[in-house]
Structure 1
Amino acid sequence: MSRLDGKVALITGGAGGIGKVTAKTFLKEGAKVVLVDLSEQALQEAKAELDAHGDVEIVQADVSKEDDVKNYVKKTVDRFGTIDIFFNNAGIEGKVAPLVEQKLEDFDQVMSVNVRGVFLGLQHVLPIMTKQGHGSVINTSSVAGLNGSPNVSPYITSKHAVVGLTKAAAVEVANANVRVNSIHPSPVNTRMMRSLEAGFSPENAEAAQAELEKSIPLGRYGESSDIAQLVLFLASDESTFITGSQYRIDGGMAAL
């Protein structure tokens, strides 16, 4: 039997690198999947790529807007009847600049997606899970949600906030057999890191990547497939006694 046989999984940021690879992993393990993303075109491309692997639906949404969140939850339940797994994954990196040079509107945008979006997702998915008496939520934070780092203060702030939301939600819904955990990846080989590399070193983004890789004991960025395997574990019944936890997946960065 597959590890997610018959389960319904909802993934925000579903057309991005980690979201799409996790969706494929879930489908191969027997889940039905709903992808949520801001870009309709990216969603259509992701669906075309994933259709061969199982039952996939897509919903265009801005995760920072409550009506959009209500809509993606409703469409998931209307299509598949419930939500067993919620990968609360959508996020943006913001601008690279010292804290004193960050613009308020840029700070607000990062917080809107990375914190408000996670909060709204929890607020509208958790009632479904608590009513049915089971569910697993995986919130995407970052190593930046556990450590400090220069020149990305809005992102750092937002990812620390995800830890607080995870712990608060986990305690509130534990008596309903609903689990809420957060994952904390190191740099992952996705579009987001290309953007950050260019911000850190506009003249030589490849040099920025090489420098970041030196800070990872395993000597490389993570791949989306690495992250997907951790999310699969937390989504599955193999992790039924785990909630309120922060899972580093960082190539050894925490050991330094």
Structure 2
Amino acid sequence: MAKLAGKVAVITGGGSGIGRAISEMFASEGAKVHILDLNPDGATETASVIKQAGGACELHTVNVSKQEEVLAAVQQIGKIDILVNNAGIAHVGNVERCAEADFDRVYQVNVKGAYNALYAVIPVMKAHGGGAILNLASIASLVGIADRFAYSMSKGAIYAMSMSIARDFMHDNIRSNSISPARVHTPFVDGFISKNYPGQEEEMFEKLSKSQPIGRMAKPTEIAKLALFLCSDDAAFITGNDYPIDGGFIKLNN
């Protein structure tokens, strides 16, 4: 039997990268997927792939930093069994090179966006007997990464919120865990390298790949497989944990 048969999953930022891989995998395992994404083109493409494969998917064009938009989408959806907080943006720079506008932009999407989804979905889960929450943190929430001040701040908040939710709502049958990936090869990474290191794309891709001791970046589907496990009933005894999926980055970079 499909691992998520009969489940309803809300995935923020499901239109590209890790979010797309999670959306497609959850749908293939029987979940009805609802994508909350600001980019309707990417989300439409993800939904098309899901439907062509026989899965169920609905799109909601939502700015996750706007609470009223998130609440409206969740109200339309109704019953929700799974929430994956995946939507996020990055910023390069230490605190001296992080303008207030940059800091606020990262906070609004990465931190407030996750809060808005949690705020909207948890009452729905409580009303329907529980659910599983997965928050996408990062190795940047666990170790110091150079020139990632605002991004690290936001992912540290994701890690902390995930643990707080696990503690506060365990008796409501709501599980909350987080995943901390190292670098994952997505179109976002390619765009990030192209924007920040013009003319050095090949060199930087190789350098970033080899920063994982395993010698490469992760594939989005590898993250999705861990997400599937943590959101399925196979992980019914797991809550309040963070799972680095990092090619040895945290423990083996010595």
TM-score (norm 2): 0.95
Name the structure 1 match of 2:74.
73
The answer to whether the 8 A contact 1:92-1:192 is kept is: no
Equivalent of residue 223 in structure 2, options 221, 227, 235: 227
Pairing partner for 1:247 from 232, 240, 243: 243
CA positional deviation for 1:111: 0.5
Which amino acid counterpart does residue 57 of structure 1 have in structure 2? Answer: E
Greater Cα offset, 191-200 or 112-121: 191-200
Deviation at residue 200 of structure 1 after TM alignment: 5.3
**Contact 1:183-1:246 at 8 Å conserved across structures:** yes
The CA distance in 1 between the partners of 2:71 and 2:193, in whole Å, is 35
User: How does 1:4-153 map onto structure 2 within 5 Å?
Assistant: 4-53=4-53, 54-77=55-78, 82-94=79-91, 96-153=92-149
Q: Does 1:215 align with 2:173?
A: no
Return the offset for 1:149: 1.0
SS of corresponding position for 1:231: helix
Which stretch of the first structure deviates more once superposed, 178-187 or 199-208? 199-208
Instruction: Select between 195-204 and 8-17 the one with higher mean Cα deviation.
Output: 195-204
Determine if contact 1:93/1:192 at 8 Å carries over to the other structure. Answer: no
Structure 1 stretches lacking a partner, 5+ long? none
Aligned sequence identity (%): 38
Query: Which segment drifts farther, 47-56 or 196-205?
Result: 196-205
User: Shift in Å at residue 250 of structure 1?
Assistant: 0.5
Matched, 1:236 2:219: no
| Shift in Å, 1:191 | 2.4
CA distance in 2, matches of 1:106, 1:49: 34
SS in 2 for 1:27: helix
Indicate whether 1:164 and 2:160 are aligned: yes
CA contact (8 A) 2:185 2:219 kept: yes
RMSD: 1.3
Tell me which moved more, 188-197 or 82-91: 188-197
| Distance in 2 separating the partners of 1:247 and 1:127 | 26
Per-residue CA shift, 1:16-39, capped at 9, x if unaligned? 111111111111111111111001
Distance 1:45 1:196 in 2: 21
Q: What secondary structure is seen at the aligned counterpart in 2 of 1:34?
A: strand
Shift of 1:211: 1.3
1:2 is matched with which residue?
A: 2
Distance across 1 between alignment mates of 2:186 and 2:103: 22
CA contact (8 A) 1:186 1:221 kept: yes
Amino acid at match of 1:6: G
Q: Is the 8 A contact 1:63 1:69 kept in 2?
A: yes
| AA in 2 matched with 1:197 | I
Residue number among 184, 199, 202 corresponding to 2:198 in the alignment: 202
Contact 2:143–2:250 (CA<8 Å) still a contact in 1? Answer: no
SS at match of 1:93: coil
Could you state the TM-score of these two structures normalised by the residue count of structure 1? 0.94
Query: Which amino acid is the alignment partner of residue 11 of structure 1?
Result: I
CA distance in 1, matches of 2:127, 2:111: 25
Which structure 2 residue ranges, 5 or more long, are not aligned? Answer: none
CA separation in 2, counterparts of 1:232 and 1:12? 15
1:67 maps to amino acid: E
What SS is found at the alignment partner of 1:9? strand
